[in-house]
Amino acid sequence: MRLLVTGGAGFIGANFVHRTVREHPEYEVTVLDALTYAGNEASLAGVREAITFVHGSITDAALVDDLVRGSDAVVHFAAESHNDNSLADPGPFLQTNVVGTYTLLEAVRRHDVRFHHVSTDEVYGDLELDDPRKFTPETPYNPSSPYSSTKAASDLLVRAWVRSYGVRATLSNCSNNYGPYQHVEKFIPRQITNVLDGRRPKLYGAGLNVRDWIHVDDHNAAVHEVLQRGRTGHTYLIGADGEVDNRTVLATVLELMGQPADAFDSVTDRAGHDLRYAIDATKLREELGWRPRYTDFREGLAATIAWYRDNEAWWRPLKDQVEAAYAARGQ
């Protein structure tokens, strides 16, 4: 299997590459990554010799055509991924998430290459706290932010290329990931590194928003299942029944790091802040037999805290700039 992984120097993509090299040493893995502020070659240390790394953009049609032509399958992680950035400047989200996905789709169409599109539960909008329903593959699209609307657009392009051109594509929409190599702009690593750095953690608004947390390794295990056995044109929702509100996540981080429960600041809320996400992963579990390994969020969080404690050299160069940008927005 010659596998092209877009966005393989980002959080989930890098974890996916590590897993693939470990579990499928017979695969030939090529990573295509633009090394934006969110990409980091250091995340591939340890597997760098086992893969081919190409520095370039998924919007570069000639480069994409060349790489896709030499591949059996593409797993597409590359994206602009942070909601707060999309509110500040949506332009790069349109380019990478929409035009980049279109560029890949045209190449896999030309060369009849298998395509797996990695997407998010945010395409479905948000739920009330007391809504008994969760997101299913049948839930209507209703994205809220520039980020989630561009991911929704990319999903619709993939579906259209399946139906119109017979492209052999699958889609997965996952809930919030946590684990090693996540950029310090994101909620959990931001708070962990704030504590490690002697800064106060920052909670948006009242912290009542609920996210459905899943360990990144469980997400990637599911992506491999879908890649190998998913049905063309089908969408698989990935989630591990991990609903927790932000206040509780932060309280757990503070406790695990030996901090007082009130050692945080409440800051300006996110504009249009989605209230709650929740995934029904029945299809993935029943059709592909996937099960999460990380079923204890507290344990997964403790391991993640230990990773950031042990890997300061990885996050330290990113921290000051991220905090300066947040401070300028009152967050």
Contacts with ligand DAU by CB under 6 A lie at: 81-83, 120-122, 175-176, 186-187, 190, 202-204, 209, 211, 246, 270, 277
Distance separating alpha carbons of residues 311 and 58, to the nearest angstrom: 29
Nearer to ligand DAU, 270 or 283 (CB): 270
At 248, give phi and psi (nearest 5°). Answer: -70, -40
- Minimum Å gap between C-beta 289 and ligand NAD is 21
Q: Which stretch binds ligand NAD (CB under 6 A): 9-17, 105-113, 282-290, 298-306?
A: 9-17
- What three-state secondary structure class fits 19? helix
C-beta of 114 vs 183, nearer to ligand DAU:
183
Going by C-alpha positions, the residue among 240, 315, 316, 331 that lies closest to residue 281 is 240
Nearest-CB residue for ligand DAU:
120
User: What CA–CA distance (Å, rounded) separates 116 from 205?
Assistant: 36
CA distance 7 to 218: 18
Q: Cα–Cα distance between 46 and 18 in angstroms, integer?
A: 8
* Token pair recorded at residue 23: 């579990």
- For ligand DAU, give the closer residue by CB, 176 or 220: 176
Active site residue 122: yes
Q: Which of 136, 118, 114 lies closest to 127, judged by CA?
A: 136
Of the candidates 33, 80, 122, 126, the residue annotated as catalytic is 122
10 binds, among ligand NAD, ligand DAU, none (CB under 5 to 8 A by kind): ligand NAD
Q: Is the dihedral of CA 61, 67, 69, 71 positive or negative?
A: negative
CB 92 within 8 A of CB 53: no
Stretch that binds ligand NAD, among 44-52, 123-131, 156-164, 170-178 (CB under 6 A): 170-178
The answer to whether 121 is a known catalytic residue is yes
Residue 28 beta carbon to ligand DAU: minimum distance, rounded to whole angstroms: 28
Residue 322, φ and ψ in degrees, nearest 5: -65, -45
Query: Cβ closer to ligand DAU: 30 or 172?
Result: 172
Shortest distance in whole angstroms from residue 71 CB to ligand NAD: 15
Residues that bind ligand NAD (CB under 6 A): 6-7, 9-13, 32-36, 38-39, 57-59, 77-81, 96, 100, 118-120, 151, 174, 176-177, 183
